[in-house]
Amino acid sequence: MLGSLLLAGSRVPLVRRAVSGVPLTRKVVDRFVAGETPQDAVEAVRRLTGAGLTVTIDHLGEETRDSGAAAGTAQAYTVLLGALRELDLGDRAEVSVKLSAVGQALGADGDKIALENARRICEAAHAAGADVTLDMEDHTTVDSTLGVLRALRDDFPRTGVALQAYLFRSEADCRDLSHEGSRIRLVKGAYAEPASVAHRDKAEVDKAYVRCLRILMAGGGYPMVATHDDRLISITELLADRFGRSRGDYEYQMLYGIRTDKQQALAGAGHTVRVYIPYGDDWYGYFMRRLAERPANVAFFLRALGGK
């Protein structure tokens, strides 16, 4: 119930102003967000890759309603990728892109604008030896996102995409996309979706995640297993063994600032662990989804507000 309320609040302007206006909110945001500038993001990249981890970087923002702002987001990614090129990290550093931030939400021409801006980002990533993964947003954007993905893969076949296990459709999408060379990030899902399109019960979401994971592990693609759940990590290892996958045939992905001890333990055991690094000043929606995911995050927030 608390998670649903927080997700609903993530789209209410009055709640946004209230949360953003609390000075101590920044103290908590710093746990989940690397900073506001490209330099902040690059510093986090240096630190994490130096510790044996890999990274994917998200320039925060979503649901852009202005074509100039969408182009500006694409430009921010090209600047960031230019900085990553100087680090010569190759595919140890990639970027994650929300299509709604680069034009998808701009009416009838949204898909075309998003594709053009995403293509610019892919070109910059290719020059840096890096990859691009398309984030998935609420269920109304799935078909559009997969359409842009197909168009991008004509020229940039390593473009990845996130699929959300809690959506009823995702098992079929996993089957469609689990082919040779396809990079798929599997997440549980972090949007407030109606019961008509998504599982709402946590146990059912977990079961759906395992079903999707099994499809990806059995397929020919490259699964990117985005979870902090020890039980799901154990199941991943069992499925990898069952389907003959080595540790280079899949990877784990975890969020910046969450379960850093587990990130290091898995990397120390020889797994590829990719940390999702968000940066930028438009942090509100991302922050609220992180609070909604785990009660411990809410408790951390409240302790910070209380000065403890």
pLDDT by residue for the chain (308 residues), tens digit each? 434 544 444 454 554 454 555 554 556 677 788 988 999 999 999 999 999 999 999 999 888 889 999 999 999 999 999 999 999 999 999 999 999 999 999 999 999 999 999 999 999 999 999 999 999 999 999 999 999 999 999 999 999 999 999 999 999 999 999 999 999 999 999 888 999 999 999 999 999 999 999 999 999 999 999 999 999 999 999 999 999 999 999 999 999 988 999 999 999 999 999 999 999 887 777 777 777 666 555 555 555 444 44
Per the annotation, does 228 bind a ligand? yes
Per the annotation, does 1 bind a ligand? no
Say if residues 97 and 77 touch (Cβ distance below 8 Å): yes
pLDDT at 298: 57
> Can 173 be counted among the known catalytic residues?
no
Token pair for 301: 């927030």
pLDDT at 24: 46
CA-closest candidate to residue 165, choices 236, 220, 92, 59 = 236
pLDDT at 294: 61
Per the annotation, does 64 bind a ligand? no
Q: Which of these is catalytic: 158, 183, 185, 274?
A: 185
> Can 185 be counted among the known catalytic residues?
yes
pLDDT at 275: 98
Q: Which of these is catalytic: 135, 138, 173, 206?
A: 135
Residues in contact with 136: Cβ distance below 8 Å, sequence separation at least 6, in sequence order: 142, 145, 161, 162, 163, 164, 187
Handedness of CA 23, 46, 234, 240 (dihedral sign): positive
Per the annotation, does 188 bind a ligand? yes
pLDDT at 51: 97
Burial tier of 2 (Cβ tally within 10 Å: 0-12, 13-18, 19+): exposed
Token pair for 307: 């000065």
Per the annotation, does 289 bind a ligand? yes
Per the annotation, does 27 bind a ligand? no
The whole-angstrom separation of Cα 130 and Cα 247 is 20
CATH of domain 1-6+35-306: 3.20.20.220
Per the annotation, does 202 bind a ligand? yes
Per the annotation, does 290 bind a ligand? yes
Beta strands in the chain (DSSP E): 54-59, 93-97, 132-134, 160-164, 183-187, 222-226, 251-255, 273-279
pLDDT at 89: 96
pLDDT at 308: 43
Query: How many other CB atoms sit within 10 Å of the CB of residue 136?
Result: 25
